[in-house]
């Protein structure tokens, strides 16, 4: 049956018709989302929308969604079917998130057959990355170079950081090609990138601190950090805890690699270098846009949205800097305000650019992620036997500050859902009901 033609009634209007096939497809939808960086709430919502397209009423479907496992049950008084699916290959792919979301709406509107729906899911999973390996490496370099400038570094710091980050990107790719443990690969990558940043002191005659700080930051798990807080806010506690622990392991691996590099290089403790911007001038605007677009390339965002995310990055970072430097507010409040403004703007922008809000909001907020503050804490813990009580307290303070900033960013990005969730869901449910009613009339 061709797309757009009427689907068999026993397939799309009878909940238990071909139920095994339907549940398999629903789990494939959830797996594609979860492995591409979707938060748990979005995964549950899109799976329920796909279930509605398949004729399964919301009261008949029950989901248990965790970071590594999806469980689905469909039942009534006479039937009960349960199926599991494992999610092992986690990453970030915003193109997949956008494509799956669009597919669930198109399936409702065009009455796809189940076979056609499966073909679309398989096609989405097989879509090649928007960017080549070289382009992604340059994106990682640009993202970290932008961080260096945002911290107060110079143009030379930008290029040195970008060079070291690109090198680190290829080291990580090499580790992954040999199937290294992911945390070991991160430690090796951060060690290699930091060692190269340290080695630049010899031809230059002096040590540039900002490349040491910023070159491994493309490894910081910004989206898992934000998703962890989002899961907690939406009462997906188990999934949120798993994401949070994964984040700590990643940052811990980064810190281990960095500490090893600076110990071998006999570098003094560089974590006390000021990371606050020194101005609100054009360099900060450009750096914010470059950093947001660099991370967007890593996250495989559609090319057409790169300028949009760049503008979003400028808005978030400039609002944060203005609050901190001109109003004397905390970084947590400034980060919250920047993320909240972009979140509100995204409510309108998603209809203009036809993409889920997460594709626009999270990459725009990523340049504000306080990754350095997190590994300041872990740096202090790794050196607990040699540092002073005051230094340990400063490290703990940095960790607490980082957590507060991350919560501020996550809450800011989620502002529309927090205060307008019921209205947004009601509008979407009305649209689903209208599309199902049109199908029943055919």
Residue 424 has pLDDT above 80, yes or no: no
Q: Which residue has better confidence, 315 or 380?
A: 315
Per the structure block, which two tokens stand in for 71? Answer: 């469980």
The pLDDT of residue 305 is 92
The pLDDT of residue 373 is 75
**Rounded Cα–Cα distance for residues 431 and 364 (Å):** 29
Q: Domain residues of the chain, as ranges?
A: 9-128, 133-422
185-to-140, 172, 223, 255, 437 alpha-carbon distances in Å: 16, 6, 19, 13, 52
Residue 416 φ/ψ region, left for φ over 0, alpha for ψ in the -120 to 50 degree band, beta for the rest: alpha
β-sheet bridge partners, residue 190: none
pLDDT band at 7 (very low <50, low <70, confident <90, very high): very low
Angle at 32 (CA atoms; ends 170, 289), nearest 5 degrees:
50
pLDDT band at 388 (very low <50, low <70, confident <90, very high): confident
Question: What tens digit of pLDDT does each residue of 191-236 get?
Answer: 999 999 988 877 766 667 788 888 998 998 888 888 888 888 888 9
Exposed/middle/buried for residue 333 (C-beta within 10 Å: 0-12, 13-18, 19+)? middle
Token pair 């879509």: residue:
127
Question: What tens digit of pLDDT does each residue of 267-307 get?
Answer: 665 555 555 655 557 788 899 999 999 999 999 999 999 99
Query: Most confidently modeled of 67-76, 184-193, 244-253?
Result: 184-193
pTM: 0.86
Exposed/middle/buried for residue 384 (C-beta within 10 Å: 0-12, 13-18, 19+)? exposed
Cβ within 8 Å of residue 430, ≥6 positions away: none
For residue 182, count other CB atoms closer than 10 A to its CB. Answer: 16
Cβ within 8 Å of residue 139, ≥6 positions away: 131, 293, 294, 295, 296, 297, 298
Question: What tens digit of pLDDT does each residue of 226-266 get?
Answer: 888 888 888 899 999 999 999 889 988 988 888 888 878 77
The pLDDT of residue 6 is 44
Residue 8 has pLDDT above 60, yes or no: no
415-to-3, 26, 27, 73 alpha-carbon distances in Å: 37, 29, 29, 31
Cα–chain center distance at 83: 27
| Mean per-residue pLDDT, 160-185 | 94
Exposed/middle/buried for residue 322 (C-beta within 10 Å: 0-12, 13-18, 19+)? middle
Three-state secondary-structure class, residue 132: coil
**Rounded Cα–Cα distance for residues 440 and 433 (Å):** 10
Cβ within 8 Å of residue 42, ≥6 positions away: 33, 97, 356, 358
N residues, the chain: 442
Residue 27 has pLDDT above 60, yes or no: yes
Closest residue by Cα to residue 252 from 197, 167, 181, 184: 184
DSSP state, residue 3: T
């Amino acid at each position: 049956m061709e797309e757009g033609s009427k689907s068999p009634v026993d397939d799309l209007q009878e909940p238990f018709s071909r139920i095994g096939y339907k549940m398999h497809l629903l789990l494939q939808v959830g797996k594609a989302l979860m492995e591409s960086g979707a938060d748990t709430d979005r995964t549950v919502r899109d799976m329920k929308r796909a279930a509605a397209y398949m004729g399964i009423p919301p009261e008949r479907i029950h989901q248990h969604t965790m970071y590594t496992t999806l469980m689905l049950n469909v039942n009534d008084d006479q039937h009960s079917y349960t199926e599991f699916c494992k999610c092992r290959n986690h990453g970030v792919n915003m193109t997949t998130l956008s494509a799956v979301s669009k597919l669930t709406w198109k399936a409702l509107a065009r009455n796809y057959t189940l076979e056609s729906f499966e073909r679309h899911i398989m096609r989405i999973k097989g879509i090649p990355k928007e960017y080549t390996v070289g382009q992604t490496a340059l994106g990682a370099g640009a993202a970290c170079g932008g961080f260096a400038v945002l911290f107060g570094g110079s143009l030379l710091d930008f290029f040195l950081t970008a060079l070291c980050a690109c090198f680190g990107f290829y080291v990580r790719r090499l580790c992954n090609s040999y199937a290294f443990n992911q945390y070991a690969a991160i430690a090796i990558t951060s060690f290699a990138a930091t060692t190269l940043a340290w080695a630049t002191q010899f031809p230059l005659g002096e040590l540039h601190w900002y490349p040491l700080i910023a070159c491994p930051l493309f490894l910081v798990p910004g989206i898992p950090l934000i998703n962890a807080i989002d899961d907690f806010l939406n009462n997906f506690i188990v999934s949120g805890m798993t994401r949070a622990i994964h984040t700590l392991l990643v940052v811990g691996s980064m810190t281990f690699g960095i500490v090893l590099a600076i110990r071998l290089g006999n570098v003094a403790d560089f974590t006390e270098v000021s990371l606050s911007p020194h101005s609100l001038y054009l360099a900060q605007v450009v750096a914010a846009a470059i950093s947001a677009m660099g991370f967007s390339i890593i996250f495989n965002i559609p090319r057409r949205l790169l300028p949009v995310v760049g503008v979003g990055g400028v808005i978030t970072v400039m609002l944060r800097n203005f609050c901190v430097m001109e109003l004397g507010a905390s970084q947590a409040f400034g980060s919250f305000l920047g993320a909240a403004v972009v979140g509100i703007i995204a409510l309108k922008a998603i209809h203009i650019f036809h993409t889920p809000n997460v594709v626009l909001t999270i990459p725009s907020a990523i340049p504000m992620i306080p990754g350095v503050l997190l590994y300041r804490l872990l740096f202090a813990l790794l050196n607990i036997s040699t540092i002073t009580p005051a230094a340990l307290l400063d490290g703990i303070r940095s960790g607490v500050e980082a957590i507060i900033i991350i919560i501020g960013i996550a809450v800011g990005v989620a502002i529309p859902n927090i205060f307008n969730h019921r209205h947004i869901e009601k509008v979407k449910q009305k649209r689903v009901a209208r599309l199902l009613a049109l199908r029943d009339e055919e």
